[in-house]
Each structure stands twice: as C-alpha cells, then as structure tokens.
Amino acid sequence: MADVRTMPVPDGLAGERVDAALARLFGVSRTKAADLAAAGDVLLDGRTVGKSDRLVPGAVLEVTLPDPNLPPGPEVVAEPVPGMAIVHDDDDIVVVDKPVGVAAHPSVGWTGPTVVGGLAAAGYRISTSGASERQGIVSRLDVGTSGLMVVAKSEYAYMMLKRAFRNREVDKTYHALVQGLPDPVVGTIDAPIGRHPGHEFKFAVMRGGKPSITHYEAIEAFRHASLLEVKLETGRTHQIRVHMAALKHPCVGDPLYGGDPVLAKRLGLARQWLHAMALGLVHPGTGEYVTFESTYPDDLAHALDVVAEG
C-alpha cells in the first residue's frame, strides 16, 4: 500500500522548492521527489504542484509515497498497437489517437498493449522524465476510452505540458453518450472524487475526495440516451464516468458505473461510449495554440446510429 503523508507546511520549509523540501522531509533524492510531483502525487491545499513550485506557508501538504517494499514498476514492452494513429509529430510532442483496449502505459496487472509500447515499437524516442514505465505520459485515458492523447518527446516539453495540465491550461473535449437526458441540459458538476471505499478499481463522489470539475452540454437527444459534449477542468481517474453516474445518467455501456447492459447489448457496445474528441494546448516548442481533432471509431459510430433510430 502507498503511504500518504499529510501535514501543514513546516515553517522552516515555507518558500522552499517542492523537490528540495521533499528530499529533506522524507529522505528521498531530489530526482525521486521530482518524479513524485510529475506523477501528481504531491498536493498543496488539494492541488497538484510541480517540482519547482514553492511551498506556501500555512498550506496543507499531501504526499503519496510508494511502498518501499514494492518491486520496480513494470517494464515497457515495445509492441505494435493496431489502430493507433499518429495525429501529429514534431521534435517536442506526438499526438496519438488511442484505440479502445489500450492503456496509456504499463501498470501492475495489465498485460495488454500500451501507448508507450506502441510508440517504442514504431521507433519514437520520447521524454525520459517521469517513472520508467510512463515516461513521456503527461495525461492518460482509460483503457476503455478512445481518443486523443499528447505525449512529450523532449524533456522541456514534458515539464511544460505537466505544468499546463496542472494549471488547467489544456482544453480537453469529450463526447459521451449517456442514458437519459440530464436536467439541466447544460451544467457544471463540481464534486470531489475519491477511491471507492468498497471497490478496488472504482471511484466515487465523496467527501474528502480531490476537487473535480466537469462541464457538459447536451448536443443531441434520443429516446433512450443523449449525446453530450464534455469539457474537463480537472483530470481525475474516471472523472466523466463518475460524475455522470452521480447525476443518474451513466455513460452508455459502462456497467461499472451503472450502465444498462441490455441497452449496451442492443447497441453492440462492449465498452463505455466515451471518446476524447478534441485537444487544444499551447505548443511547448513554438508557443502557439494548436488544436487536434478525432472522429468516432466504428463501434461508437455504429452505436450512435442505432440509438438514433430509436
């Protein structure tokens, strides 16, 4: 189990860089401290901070330390990923259109394909920042969610993109097919998300969870479901799925969060109807704002056609 340490910022460390402060507090190297910050495991008053940020006097510091008895993270296996498209590639970033059934990076218990492994098999050299098994990964998509991901190739890009995600400066747009029609049809869900107390792989809206904000707008309504455009301010694990389930409008095809299996079967869905449609960010190399778009994969397009027929 990970070791979560929570404490007020010590007076003697106020104004200190995060990596230097963690090295002094927990006896880890500054490199390891920087890895913890890059992985989102360092919070200051509930918000993630980077290695070069400064500790604020009076703030609450929360650090998740790995169990020292755990083995090293899983190795990256260079393996081609069928269906993974390269949307954009330059010296700093590569934008991929991730198919369903592919993880962002290796993790304990996952033996399937990964974005990192697919890029390695295709000969891409990506940033070496971050934990060894998720180098270059600055934001993830669930295995069962398809769509756009940006991966850092240069160390500078990794640092800038992590900062941009942390400061909510990256525009992420999803389309989600949900059961029923939310009321109101345009809204914001501001509800903290934490790990479900009774289910190892599930998350829930709960007191004491991490701040989580989701904006949604219904763009088309059908008899049994509605298509939403969803934009995220935060990037919690399963955030859209958890927030829509909390509204009693789970993503179609998502049994973990209350999706109707009968409806999913009728639509031919074997996963949640959720797709990362668009990505907008300030390019770390040029400083220009760039956007990327993706189209629905075949299974989601087919399901949408069927539900539109009533």
Q: What is the Cα Rg of the chain in Å?
A: 20
- Residue 60 confidence (pLDDT): 87
Query: Residue 239, Cα to own-chain centre: how many angstroms?
Result: 8
Neighbouring C-beta atoms of residue 222, cutoff 10 Å: 16
What is the pLDDT, as a whole number, of residue 116? 93
Cα–Cα dist 97/103, whole Å: 12
Q: Which residue has the tokens 């296996």?
A: 77
pLDDT at 66: 72
pLDDT along the chain (310 residues), means of 10: 77 88 85 82 86 88 74 74 96 97 84 92 83 77 96 89 88 97 97 87 90 96 97 92 97 96 96 97 96 97 94
Domains along the chain with CATH numbers: 3-65 (3.10.290.10), 75-162 (3.30.2350.10), 172-276+299-308 (3.30.2350.10)
Q: What is the per-residue burial (b if ≥16 Cβ within 10 Å, else e) of 14-35?
A: eebbbbbbbbebeebebebbbb
Give the model's pLDDT for residue 130. 62
pLDDT at 68: 62
Residue 294: predicted pLDDT: 97
Q: In whole angstroms, what is the distance from residue 137 CA to residue 158 CA?
A: 8
Residues classed as catalytic: 142
pLDDT of 31 reads 83
| DSSP H or E stretch at residue 151 | strand 146-152
